Amino acid sequence: MIVCKFGGTSVGDAEAVRRLVDIVRGRRAQQPVVVVSALAQVTDGLLGLPGLAPDLRHAALAALIHRHAALAAGLRLRDGALESIHAEAACLARRLEQLGAAGPDGALLDYIAMHGELWSSRLVTEALEAGGVPAAWIDIRPVMRTDARFTRAVPDREALPARARAALAPAQEEGRVPVTQGFLGSTGDGRPTTLGRGGSDYTATLLGAALDVDRVEIWTDVDGIMTADPRLVANARVLPVASHLEAAELAAFGARVLHPATQAPLVDALIPCVVLNSFAPDRPGTTIVTGVHPEPVGSSPVRAISWKRGVTVLNIRSPRMLGASGFLRRVFEVFERLGVSVDVLATSEVSLSLTVDDPVPLDAVLHDLAPLGEVTAYPGRAIVAVIGIDLRGTNGLAARIFDAVRDINVEVISQGASAINVTFVVREQDGAEAVRRLHHEFFGAVEQG
């Protein structure tokens, strides 16, 4: 058995869905379970509905439905293929009409967002049937039980194996390909939840581990994990093999191929994950495995350069830090209380610098940190991460990194927490150039093979 997850661009139009059908048809002997994302940009469109005036909201929802109808027409699906979509859209419209002045809470946002995956998975199921691949639509919500942290729910991994087998086995025994949704779950009392943006990858690997599959395939619009974002670096190259640790570090620091939480369910289960290009399905992609010892790319210990924009740096200066115990605990209690994650951290005797991802409740953060010291915020920053082999033990590496970006102001540096990662912060407008310079420094101008 395998899990095949298809992202938003891989179901974005009729041609993309036909490629999906061909891919799944070629894997029927391996008992594929198909997990799909919403069509590209649909989740953003749905989450934008509450902020619109009623007449504009109606038009925007109608446009989203029209896009799915156009996809159904392009695939020449049966006349009844859109019945469930229209019914769900009508329910959504009624809920939105009841929206009060306070705006949506997290539970309502998850209810709104879930429709993208529900609708795309319905059309993919119909497309597989039309393409001669028997398929069954499976609702993931009662399978993926979560807590009630709406918009960032945590799945109940212990309950998942039994629920997944019970939901999928009947279809598989009938020779049908189960098609289900990424990103979605539900609380114990049935309220819909989501796993956070990009959570469809996480769904796929959770199911893969729960079902003990042979591998999880992540189908996207690039050839695999690359040495840099190919939109920034023309000669970026594919890594044929990567470790789960490398993949997790790259994802956490901006590589858009995978969701940061994706790899965790697969590590203990020793299940490989393969990143593949649905626009070029014959290419080998990147295989991510546990325990692999990655090989250098050429003569460089560096394997990839990643970056993440939309970052705010917070500097906390407090003489009370000097020789004091418990100071960091009090700082992180603030972030825990406000539900804000911290990425990069650097300290001195009397000051602390850290980064948080936007959007962040900055006023609340500054208010709650103020009793601890003088707090200054610097928005509009980017994190650049250099990922490689034993970077902490490589002589002269830091000199090469910072010589490559010598005329770009580096504000925060973090090295030592991970043997495979050197991270620093620059202004957001300098991030792309920093990536290009570092890639040239460590990979040169070699043409992509």
Using one digit for the tens of pLDDT, what is the confidence trace for 412-431? 888 756 778 899 999 999 99
CATH number at residue 418: 3.30.2130.10
Same domain, 203 and 348: no
What's the pLDDT at 246? 84
Same domain, 214 and 347: no
Which residue did the predictor score with more confidence, 297 or 389?
389
Whether pLDDT at 445 is above 50 = yes
Q: What is the mean pLDDT of residues 265-272?
A: 90
Confirm whether 160 is domain-assigned: yes
Nearest to 125 by CA among 86, 166, 162, 71: 71
What's the pLDDT at 254? 64
Whether pLDDT at 72 is above 80 = yes
- Domain of residue 65: give its range: 2-221
Whether pLDDT at 215 is above 80 = yes
Confirm whether 204 is domain-assigned: yes
Whether pLDDT at 247 is above 50 = yes
CATH number at residue 72: 3.40.1160.10
Whether pLDDT at 449 is above 50 = no
Confirm whether 253 is domain-assigned: no
Q: Which long-range contacts (CB under 8 A, 24 or more apart) does 339-348 make?
A: 339/152, 340/365, 343/252, 343/253, 343/308, 343/311, 343/383, 344/383, 344/412, 344/414, 344/423, 344/425, 345/414, 346/412, 346/413, 346/414, 347/321
Indicate the residue among 170, 186, 221 that finishes a domain.
221
Confirm whether 285 is domain-assigned: no
Report how far residue 30's alpha carbon sits from residue 12's, in angstroms, rounded to the nearest whole number: 25
Report how far residue 250's alpha carbon sits from residue 255's, in angstroms, rounded to the nearest whole number: 5
Q: What is the mean pLDDT of residues 6-30?
A: 96
Number of domains within the chain? 2
Same domain, 328 and 199: no
Confirm whether 251 is domain-assigned: no
What's the pLDDT at 444? 85
Structure tokens at 207: 């199911």
Q: Scan for tokens 């598989």, then name that residue.
A: 172
In 19-154, where do the E strands start and end? 32-36, 135-137
What's the pLDDT at 261? 73
Dump pLDDT digits (tens) for 137-174: 999 999 999 999 999 999 999 999 999 999 999 999 99
Same domain, 209 and 306: no
Whether pLDDT at 55 is above 50 = yes
Percent of the chain with pLDDT over 90: 74
- From residue 313, alpha-carbon distances to 60, 322, 327 in Å are 36, 22, 19
